[in-house]
């Protein structure tokens, strides 16, 4: 279904038969795979209520586009075509115009990421302190490559650009939390802890507000 | 004049008491009560009660405060460009989209002392007659967003934000707007596009935001640290501010120290402290005592300086004279174990990832720059590669809508200028001559 992205993805592409499944975050994926349906979708009342409260902060309600996309992602786990269509109807613009905005920003995902999204900073200040080795270490521990998701959907791994924590390099962000001054032992402890949390069905901390 | 403060006195960095960072390590520094216990919001009271907006603009102009977001443009002058026409709504946008590699100061300002920023924003809004102010915070700063929202709620309940602030008749609302992961939104017009709910693509200047900014209305955009300086200037006066730092680069400055130093971190000193003092004394010297190879003085967009520039004073003019820029004063220190081709390639990948793609010089230039540098690092460099790179850098400068293209070209040029032999060695030997070092403990 997604050969286009697999070819574009760069390093590895699809790895059949391995324990890992690819986690696509290439914004071009929906462009090729989305089926835009003609039906108008509506946003549910609580969603709309929150959105309207945010819109009141701006002279032009279109400014609430980013907060609206965050709300959508918080509700559905990622940005779905249906969600974008609903927002398009709400803002009275075309679905492609919503998608155009969403695909510009790296924090919006177009396929379900792992329940724990690991984002390792790879930019120079972290690289000088061993970010490359952090990535290798996590890849080996989880048996996945960068840009992939573990087969049980627990973890996904990405490298990202500077997260503004250069004094505590190397560092990574897992969901909303920063983990800094990483060592091998610490990475192991963090991964174990997150896996234990998963086992005990602890609710994943999500962003509050929007 | 009010009593002289006990902190922030003189130009001797060894005896300097922090001004902007003074509450960072105080327990509960993010709360209104602690901020008020340390004299918080008295500058706002003073400004609203004693000064006309124009006087505040003059005061900040007189203080010599220069923008702390990278460009170093005089803040007071920027404010003075706002048209006085009362029929036009005006806006203040605080640039908290900190994403320059090497810089982490704004995150600390927001997480540890949000009220200092809010007070600065309220005074600035009053000075430019803005009734709406936004803080554009980068999307990854989830904790910072929460802290700021709590701080705004607290301030609103205390009557410091909203209608008729402190009984002065001045109204101002402050909102947090969360970005969603795009370096280019730190560029002021890109930020405005993003704030308007669009792709964060920069726009051509002129018109400058001061004339046609957010929603086409006059808008002032200032960095977090710039705004945090404002309450102190109002409280203690322009003369006090000018007594810190150098003649043309006045005031205290927060330095972000990262890379191969023993004690990386956030340090506040008067502008003009030397690179050597900052690395050797403040930063505790080079990591593991290894010799210095180069230092990027102002965030990744500025030119790398070789060790012979170690005695450069860190102020806007001196760093420019040394062939670089003070930028955001975010120092990335590199020791002898670093492969400079690899370092240049790392940064080129950053710019390639963050280019918004509007202008071809930038979109194509950053992409090819990263590819060519990767090729050299991998030992597949070609004889003509360095000339190609320099040629590309030349055509990437001053030819695009915003400064991102230049920001990618400047460091690459500097890496080649100062470490050209290392690049040639890569190409001639067909391999990277630097032995990799185990860095992760």
pLDDT in tens, A138-190: 999 999 999 999 999 899 999 999 999 999 999 999 998 999 999 999 999 99
CB contact under 8 A, A107 and B107: no
What is the C-alpha R_g of chain B?
Answer: 22
**Closest by CA position to A171, among listed A138, A210, A194:** A138
CA angle B43, B49, B52 (to 5 degrees): 95
Q: Which residue in B has a C-alpha nearest to residue A70's C-alpha?
A: B180
Which of A59, A122, A125 shows the shortest C-beta gap to B215? Answer: A59
CB contact under 8 A, A169 and B264: yes
Q: What is the structure's pLDDT at B208?
A: 96
Compute the Cα dihedral for B271, B275, B280, B284 and give only its sign. Answer: positive
Q: Which residue in A has a C-alpha nearest to residue B191's C-alpha?
A: A63
Q: Which residue in B has a C-alpha nearest to residue A186's C-alpha?
A: B441
**Mean pLDDT in order along chain B per 10 residues (441 residues):** 64 88 94 96 97 97 95 96 96 96 96 97 98 97 96 97 96 97 95 97 95 97 97 96 93 96 96 95 96 96 96 95 96 96 97 96 97 97 96 96 96 97 97 91 86
How long a stretch of residues is chain A?
210
Estimate the crossing angle of helix B224-242 against helix B114-128, to 10 degrees.
Answer: 80
Which of A60, A134, A165 shows the shortest C-beta gap to B196? Answer: A60
Residues in A closer than 8 angstroms to B183, CB to CB, are: 161
**Closest by CA position to B89, among listed B133, B122, B57:** B133
pLDDT band at residue A23 using 50, 70 and 90 as cut-offs: low
Q: Which residue in A has a C-alpha nearest to residue B105's C-alpha?
A: A164
CB contact under 8 A, B438 and A70: no
Q: Which residue in A has a C-alpha nearest to residue B200's C-alpha?
A: A104
Q: Do B110 and B169 form a contact (C-beta atoms < 8 A)?
A: no
CATH architecture designation of domain A116-200: 3-Layer(aba) Sandwich (3.40)
Q: Which residue in B has a C-alpha nearest to residue A171's C-alpha?
A: B440
**Average pLDDT over chain A, rounded to an integer:** 81
Chains A, B: CB contacts within 8 A come to 158
Q: Which residue in B has a C-alpha nearest to residue A104's C-alpha?
A: B199
Q: CA–CA separation, B220 vs B232, rounded Å?
A: 19
Q: Do B135 and B174 form a contact (C-beta atoms < 8 A)?
A: yes
Q: CA–CA separation, B303 vs B411, rounded Å?
A: 5
Residue A131: C-alpha distances to residues A128, A136, A160, B109 (Å): 7, 9, 11, 25
Edge-to-edge order in the sheet of strand A155-160: A20-22, A148-150, A155-160, A116-121, A172-174, A177-179
Residues in A closer than 8 angstroms to B440, CB to CB, are: 129-130, 133-134, 137, 170, 182-184
CB contact under 8 A, B354 and A161: yes
CB contact under 8 A, A124 and B346: yes
Fold of A31-102: Arc Repressor Mutant, subunit A (1.10.10)
Q: Is the pLDDT of residue A10 over 70?
A: no
A117 by DSSP, 3-state: which? Answer: strand
Residues in B closer than 8 angstroms to A108, CB to CB, are: 180
Q: Which pair of structure tokens corresponds to residue B403?
A: 């400064």
What DSSP assignment string belongs to B55-121? HHHHHHHHHT-B-SSSS--BHHHHHHTS---TTS--EEEEEE---STT--HHHHHHHH-HHHHHHHH
Domains and CATH numbers, chain B: 17-242 (3.40.50.11540), 252-335 (3.10.20.600), 340-440 (1.20.1440.230)
Q: CA–CA separation, B22 vs B11, rounded Å?
A: 17
CA distance A17 to chain B (A): 30
pLDDT band at residue A200 using 50, 70 and 90 as cut-offs: low
Strands (E), B297-400: 330-335
Q: Where are the alpha helices (DSSP H) in B277-359?
A: 316-321, 340-354
CB contact under 8 A, A129 and B439: yes
Q: Do B201 and B356 form a contact (C-beta atoms < 8 A)?
A: yes
CB contact under 8 A, A166 and B439: no
Which of B132, B178, B260 shows the shortest C-beta gap to A128? Answer: B260
Q: What is the structure's pLDDT at A32?
A: 52
Q: Do B78 and B223 form a contact (C-beta atoms < 8 A)?
A: no
CB contact under 8 A, A60 and B215: yes
Residues in A closer than 8 angstroms to B173, CB to CB, are: 57
Q: CA–CA separation, B191 vs A52, rounded Å?
A: 22
Residues in A closer than 8 angstroms to B141, CB to CB, are: 164
Q: CA–CA separation, B197 vs B171, rounded Å?
A: 25
Other CB atoms within a 10 A radius of the CB of residue A45 amount to: 8
Q: CA–CA separation, B254 vs B78, rounded Å?
A: 21
Q: CA–CA separation, B413 vs B408, rounded Å?
A: 9
Q: What is the DSSP code (8-state) at residue B17? A: P
A89 by DSSP, 3-state: which? Answer: helix
B187 by DSSP, 3-state: which? Answer: coil
Instruction: Say which residue the tokens 């790392």 belong to.
Output: B346
> pTM here?
0.91
Which of B183, B296, B439 shows the shortest C-beta gap to A161? Answer: B183
Residues in A closer than 8 angstroms to B180, CB to CB, are: 66, 69-70, 105-108
Q: Which of A8, A53, A104 is the best residue to mutate to test the B interface, defined by the most B CB atoms within 10 Å of its own CB?
A: A104
Q: Which of B21, B69, B88, B104 is the best residue to mutate to test the A interface, defined by the most A CB atoms within 10 Å of its own CB?
A: B104
CB contact under 8 A, A63 and B195: yes
Q: CA–CA separation, A94 vs A102, rounded Å?
A: 13
Q: For residue B262, how many C-alpha atoms fall within 13 Å in the half-sphere facing its CB?
A: 13
For the ranges A72-81, A191-200, B371-380, the maximum mean pLDDT occurs at B371-380
CB contact under 8 A, B440 and A60: no
In chain A, residues under CATH classification 3.40.30.10 are 116-200
């Amino acid at each position: 279904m997604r050969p286009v992205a697999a070819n574009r993805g760069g390093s590895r592409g699809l790895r059949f038969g391995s324990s890992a499944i690819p986690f696509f975050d290439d914004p071009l994926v929906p462009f090729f795979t989305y089926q835009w349906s003609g039906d108008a979708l509506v946003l549910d009342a609580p969603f709309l209520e929150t959105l309207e409260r945010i819109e009141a902060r701006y002279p032009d309600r279109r400014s609430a586009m980013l907060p609206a996309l965050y709300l959508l992602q918080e509700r559905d786990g990622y940005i779905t075509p249906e969600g974008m269509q609903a927002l398009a109807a709400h803002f009275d613009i075309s679905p492609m115009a919503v998608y155009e905005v969403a695909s510009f920003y790296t924090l919006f995902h177009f396929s379900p990421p792992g329940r724990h999204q690991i984002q390792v900073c790879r930019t120079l200040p972290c690289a000088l302190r061993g970010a490359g080795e952090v990535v290798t270490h996590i890849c080996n521990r989880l048996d996945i490559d960068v840009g992939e998701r573990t087969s049980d959907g627990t973890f996904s791994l990405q490298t990202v650009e500077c997260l503004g924590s250069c004094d505590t390099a190397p560092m990574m962000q897992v969901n909303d939390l920063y983990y800094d001054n990483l060592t091998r032992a610490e990475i192991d402890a963090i991964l174990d802890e997150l896996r234990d949390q998963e086992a005990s069905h602890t609710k994943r901390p999500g962003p509050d507000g929007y | 004049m009010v009593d002289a403060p006990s902190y922030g006195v003189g130009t001797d960095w060894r005896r300097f008491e922090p001004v902007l960072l003074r509450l960072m390590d105080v327990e509960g520094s993010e709360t209104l009560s602690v901020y008020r216990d340390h004299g918080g919001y008295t500058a706002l009271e003073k400004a609203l009660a004693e000064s006309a907006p124009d006087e505040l603009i003059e005061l900040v102009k007189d203080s010599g405060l220069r923008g702390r977001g990278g460009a170093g443009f005089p803040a007071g002058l920027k404010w003075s460009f706002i048209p006085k026409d009362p029929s036009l709504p005006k806006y203040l946008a605080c640039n908290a989209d900190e994403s320059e590699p090497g810089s982490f100061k704004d995150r600390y300002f927001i997480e540890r002392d949000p009220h200092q920023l809010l007070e600065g924003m309220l005074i600035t809004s009053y000075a430019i007659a803005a009734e709406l102010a936004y803080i554009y915070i980068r999307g990854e700063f989830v904790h910072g967003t929460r802290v700021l929202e709590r701080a705004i709620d607290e301030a609103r309940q205390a009557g410091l934000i909203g209608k008729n602030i402190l009984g002065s008749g001045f109204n101002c609302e402050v909102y947090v707007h969360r970005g969603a992961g795009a370096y280019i939104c730190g560029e002021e017009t890109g930020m405005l596009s993003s704030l308007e709910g669009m792709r964060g693509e920069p726009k051509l200047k002129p018109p400058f935001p001061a004339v046609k900014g957010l929603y086409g209305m006059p808008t002032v955009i200032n960095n977090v640290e710039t705004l945090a300086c404002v309450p102190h200037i109002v409280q203690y006066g322009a003369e006090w501010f000018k007594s810190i730092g150098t003649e043309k680069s006045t005031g205290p400055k927060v330095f972000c120290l990262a890379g191969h130093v023993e004690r990386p971190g956030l340090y506040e000193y008067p502008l003009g402290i030397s690179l050597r003092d900052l690395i050797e004394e403040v930063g505790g010297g080079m990591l593991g005592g290894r010799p210095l190879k180069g230092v990027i003085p102002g965030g990744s967009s500025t030119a790398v300086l070789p060790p012979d520039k170690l005695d450069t004073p860190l102020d806007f003019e001196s760093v420019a004279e040394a062939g670089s820029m003070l930028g955001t004063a975010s120092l990335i220190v590199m020791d002898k174990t670093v492969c400079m081709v690899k370092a240049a390639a790392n940064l080129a990948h950053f710019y390639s990832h963050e280019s918004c793609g509007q202008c071809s010089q930038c979109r194509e230039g950053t992409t090819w720059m990263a590819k060519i540098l990767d090729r050299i690092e991998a030992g597949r460099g070609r004889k003509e590669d360095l000339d190609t790179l320099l040629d590309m850098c030349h055509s990437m400068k001053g030819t695009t809508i915003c400064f991102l293209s230049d920001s990618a070209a400047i460091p690459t040029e500097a890496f080649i200028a100062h470490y050209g032999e290392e690049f040639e060695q890569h190409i001639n030997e067909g391999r990277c001559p630097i032995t990799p070092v185990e860095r992760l403990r």
